[in-house]
Amino acid sequence: MPFFNREKEKKELKAILSGEPNVLWFIYGPINSGKTALITQVCEELPEDYIIFYINFRGVETRKYEDFVRALFQPKDESFFQKLVKKTDIIEAALEYGEKLIKKINYHFEVPTRVLKLFFQPEPERDVFKYLEVLMKRLNEKGKKPALIFDELQMLKEVKKNGSVLHDLFNFLVRMTKETHLCHCLCATSDCIFIEEIYKNAHLEGRMKSFLVDDLSKEEAFKIYEAFDFEEKELIWDYIGGKIGDMVLVFEEKKRGWKEEKILKTMLKDTTERLDALLEEIEFGSVKIQFKGREQTIEVNKVKEVLSLFKEKEEVSKREIDPGYRNYLVNENVLFFDPMKGTVRPQGRLILRAIREVV
């Protein structure tokens, strides 16, 4: 499957990474818009003096601080480390050991098992973030350009160690960019409620910016349709628009011999059934959410009122929707909230069609 050519976004991301680190960047967008593919492609095309650390918290159990540390670090064989630790401090040896194993693109920080255990200890000198800061400084001294990329960062919301781990992590990321300029820091997420919460944090004001990776425009989408050898291009646009993930599904089903129209109608049927099931759960169950510290019951009639806003429109202001209901439907991947524009819309054209059929 080819990479979906996003020259404009690639150029912008490369420009961000080419300058001095000055600000923390949040990369966001609807589900299946191609955020991870874009980041991966840009990282692969960067010059060899770049050192990338890409950590994805999706699919990693992160209920405790120890889980967070294990997501960052990969324990390795200690034979080489044993030689280093005899002649120097254990953390100093760990830094030298880590430097030897660093590649251009890394999915963990590699440390000996015994050092990983030290990071679980309460001693300040063995703090994870202090270790990483020294490592970033050393890479700079060697003429390297390090970049930290944390994907699905919202998975850390509940993790604590003497307070919120996210609070400590953001302090570290601000220090790496705004204060010391040692390392580019990018955080990717499809949870835009999380981004809104972060932007309300006065401590981060002026220290972070956002980068939207949206579904493709019609012109861009048609280029991908052409590459996939789609025939019913207008019909496909009407059903799935510029949603890259949906294009891939059509392509895969077409390889099995299915006709494009049948594929699209099946996808719409599945999406409509999912929306029906969600409404049924609300109506016959008792769906409750936590919003601003209080419990709120979700009512099916009010959900239908929200969805009916999209009978004639494709996008509305966030002010038109009760925040609790907005958050619920965003978390259920029905709606997409753009915190920078203050707008709400369905996650894609397929769910928009399903909404218009159901309500």
* CB-CB contact of 152 with 56 (8 Å): yes
Residue 216 DSSP class: P
**Structural domains of the chain sorted by starting position, each given as residue range(s) with its CATH number in brackets:** 7-212 (3.40.50.300), 218-358 (1.10.10.10)
- Indicate if the pLDDT at residue 206 is higher than 90: no
Q: Which of 80-94, 126-140, 188-202 has the highest mean pLDDT?
A: 126-140
- Indicate if the pLDDT at residue 2 is higher than 70: no
Buried b (16+ CB within 10 A) or exposed e, 303-330: beebbebbeeeeeeeeeebeebbbbbbb
Segment 322-331 shows an average pLDDT of: 92
Instruction: Please state, in angstroms and as integers, the Cα–Cα distance from residue 274 to each residue in 215, 240, 321, 333, following that order.
Output: 21, 16, 22, 11
Banded pLDDT at 1 (limits 50, 70, 90) = very low
* CB-CB contact of 304 with 280 (8 Å): no
Q: Which residue has the higher pLDDT, 162 or 170?
A: 170
* CB-CB contact of 337 with 197 (8 Å): no
Banded pLDDT at 250 (limits 50, 70, 90) = very high
pTM above threshold 0.95: no
